[in-house]
Amino acid sequence: MSLAQEKSIQQFAAQDRQSHSLVSGATNVTEADRTKHLPAALRVVGVIFIFGIYTLGILWPSGWVWHTGHASHYLEMILGVYATLGVFLLIASRNPLANLSLIWFTVWSSVVHAGIMAAQALANPEHRGHLWGDVPALLVVAAVLALLTPRGTAAIALPTGQEVSPKS
């Protein structure tokens, strides 16, 4: 390979890395920079899913509890599902790149769940408090995890420490 070809490939790779980076103000944040914050985000979301939903349901029921009453079967079910997901997110925080499918499941299921709850809250005036409570909270969880989780070739290259190769 000639020196000119090698230099051209290096320039293309540098441009590809820049296209995979997130521009925030004057600072470029690369895929690897974002990924290093993923374990902490998974731990925070995991703890919130385990303890926070129940706590917020007590403190702000109109924004977090859909069915009220002495023994809400719906609430018990939701707490069980989210506490279980929280435990698995805590486990995933040890090695996020080996648990990408769980992370993406959390992102997309949060978006879908928030969308369904938003539609139900808009259709039922007694549930409008959810538009300020659990609906935006799930969208924030989805956005944070999506922002920090690597995609495509970066998701494959980062665990092995390889450079992200340019697309042919």
The per-residue pLDDT for range 38-55, each reduced to its tens digit, is: 999 999 999 999 999 888
Confidence (pLDDT) at 71: 59
What is the rounded average pLDDT of the residues 2-13? 51
Give which of 79, 135, 146 is closest to 107, Cα–Cα. 146
Pair 146, 138: CB distance under 8 Å? no
pLDDT at 12 over 80: no
- Give Cα 30 to chain centroid, integer Å: 17
What average pLDDT does the chain have? 78
Round to whole Å and give the CA distance between 147 and 113.
19
Round to whole Å and give the CA distance between 168 and 164.
12
Confidence (pLDDT) at 66: 73
Q: Can you state the angle between helices 73-92 and 38-47, rounded to 10 degrees? A: 160
Beta bridge partners of 24: 27
List the structure tokens of 2. Answer: 């000639």
Round to whole Å and give the CA distance between 31 and 23.
11
Pair 96, 150: CB distance under 8 Å? no
Write the DSSP symbol of residue 78: H
